[in-house]
Amino acid sequence: MLYPIMPIYLKTIGFSIVLIGILEGIAEATAGLSKGYFGKLSDSSGRRVPFVQIGYAFSAISKPMMAVFIYPLWIFFARTVDRFGKGIRTGARDAILSDEATFQTKGKVFGFHRSMDTLGAVLGPSLALLYLYYYPQDYQTLFFIAFIPGLFAVLASLYLKDKEKIKQKTKVSTPFFSFLKYWKVSPPEYKKVVIGLLIFTLFNSSDVFLLLQVKQSGLDDTMVIGVYIFYNLIYALFAFPIGILADKVGLKTIFIIGLGLFATVYFGMAFNTKIYFFFGLFFLYGIYASATEGISKAWISNITDKKDTATAIGTFSGLQSICAMLASSLTGLIWFQFNATIAFLVTATVTLFVLVYFISIPKPTTTTIDMSQQ
């Protein structure tokens, strides 16, 4: 509901493009670092559900906080609380999903999750669009309204129960950055895949910049939100079937195709100003997301030991979010110093190099596959 509103709202209260980039970068870095820590804590404690419940609670509380005060420091704090909640729940939630799948169905399970998650990103902005039609520019009220589905998410999580076999009564000391130690003991395949993903992330800025490009091309707020809804609808529709397809043709193959689509979109965004072309680009962007978001986690869970699933995904997410912070800040600066065209061209060009890198990575060994099934 709030994501497409965020850049527009921030600009109305005085945020510059550079400040928006820094805000998004810090927010994502907070989410990523906490994903690593709480993923490791989940594996160490043998618990999953409490992290999911607390994580959704933090994100729900942050929504009305964004509307209470408009001071930059408070906005940074509220946005950080939201992303911190995401960091708490993500590793444990993904471990639950992985535990419910087999090696042959990881793409299907993670794809289904992405479809359902993104369906909310279709319904939410649709409600926001309807509200703004009757109450133009009343952005702050939307933050209060968004608290309601956030509360329902917390209530729904109360129905989750940890499996008896993973419960532990012993307390385990877990320093905040202990998850980084996993890198030293992780499988070689994990390191190769994560290195490629991190390079890609380093130049893959927040989607906020895509929405700002649409806005600055002359489209009104309604059309900007409409484009975002369209993108998420494509994402929601294709994530599940593409996940099933990935299990058949290979997670790596589908991921590489996704990178190719991403590069195409960013090359297009660098020069486009026509509305119908924007919808075409966001259609491809939805397919890209379907072919990479859940697929990357399924890929990682298949090349690591089952007992380290939350740590492996959390460590990747932690490192990824540091790169995301730099990416959003870097894109904001390039956009400010040069223009949007240069910012998008740099991202698209680097993505092509990453695509070639992934093509060169060999398939996982049988030993690694066997280990992940234990």
Separation between Cα atoms, residue 106 and residue 247, nearest integer Å? 7
Predicted local distance difference test score (pLDDT) of residue 174: 61
Q: Where are the beta strands (DSSP E) in the chain?
A: none
Chain segment 79-110, per-residue pLDDT in tens? 888 888 888 998 888 888 888 877 788 888 88
Instruction: Tell me if 89 sits within 8 A of 56, measured CB to CB.
Output: yes
**Mean pLDDT lowest for which of 121-135, 166-180, 264-278, 288-302?**
166-180
The predicted model gives 151-178 an average pLDDT of: 71
More confident residue, 159 or 372: 159
> Which residues are within 8 A (CB) of 192 and not within 5 positions of it... i.e. 6 or more apart?
361
**350, two tokens:** 């680097």
Is it the case that residue 225 has pLDDT exceeding 60? Answer: yes
| Banded pLDDT at 196 (limits 50, 70, 90) | very high
Predicted local distance difference test score (pLDDT) of residue 98: 83
The predicted model gives 2-6 an average pLDDT of: 75
| Banded pLDDT at 179 (limits 50, 70, 90) | low
Q: Closest Cα to residue 20, out of 279, 268, 210, 285?
A: 210
Instruction: Tell me if 26 sits within 8 A of 325, measured CB to CB.
Output: yes
Separation between Cα atoms, residue 18 and residue 20, nearest integer Å? 5
Q: Within 13 Å of residue 321, how many CA atoms lie on the same side as its CB?
A: 25
Predicted local distance difference test score (pLDDT) of residue 368: 43
Amino acid at 145: I
What whole-number percentage of the chain has pLDDT above 90? Answer: 19
Q: What DSSP letter does each residue of 188-205 carry, written as one string? A: HHHHHHHHHHHHHHHT--
Instruction: Tell me if 39 sits within 8 A of 315, measured CB to CB.
Output: yes
Is it the case that residue 331 has pLDDT exceeding 90? Answer: no
Hey, what domains does the chain have and what are their CATH numbers?
6-158+178-372 (1.20.1250.20)
The predicted model gives 244-257 an average pLDDT of: 91
Instruction: Tell me if 59 sits within 8 A of 86, measured CB to CB.
Output: yes
| Banded pLDDT at 76 (limits 50, 70, 90) | confident
pTM for the model stands at: 0.74
Instruction: Tell me if 261 sits within 8 A of 76, measured CB to CB.
Output: no
Q: Which helix (H) or strand (E) holds 136?
A: none
Query: Among all chains, which residue has been given the structure tokens 């952005």?
Result: 139
Residue 108, CA distances (Å) to 22, 39, 95, 274, 314 in order: 35, 22, 15, 36, 21
Is it the case that residue 71 has pLDDT exceeding 70? Answer: yes
For residue 161, the SS3 value is coil
Predicted local distance difference test score (pLDDT) of residue 369: 42
Predicted local distance difference test score (pLDDT) of residue 19: 78
The predicted model gives 311-319 an average pLDDT of: 81
Separation between Cα atoms, residue 16 and residue 31, nearest integer Å? 23
Predicted local distance difference test score (pLDDT) of residue 165: 55
Q: Mean pLDDT in the chain?
A: 82
Separation between Cα atoms, residue 217 and residue 91, nearest integer Å? 38
Maximum CA extent, the chain: 60
More confident residue, 175 or 133: 133
The predicted model gives 244-259 an average pLDDT of: 91
Predicted local distance difference test score (pLDDT) of residue 374: 39
**Mean pLDDT lowest for which of 29-33, 60-64, 88-92, 156-160?**
29-33
End-to-end C-alpha distance for the chain, whole angstroms = 40
Predicted local distance difference test score (pLDDT) of residue 178: 61
Chain segment 332-359, per-residue pLDDT in tens? 888 878 888 888 898 899 999 999 999 9
Predicted local distance difference test score (pLDDT) of residue 169: 45
More confident residue, 337 or 245: 245
Separation between Cα atoms, residue 158 and residue 374, nearest integer Å? 29
Separation between Cα atoms, residue 257 and residue 54, nearest integer Å? 36
**207, two tokens:** 């989607």
Instruction: Tell me if 374 sits within 8 A of 306, measured CB to CB.
Output: yes
More confident residue, 363 or 141: 141
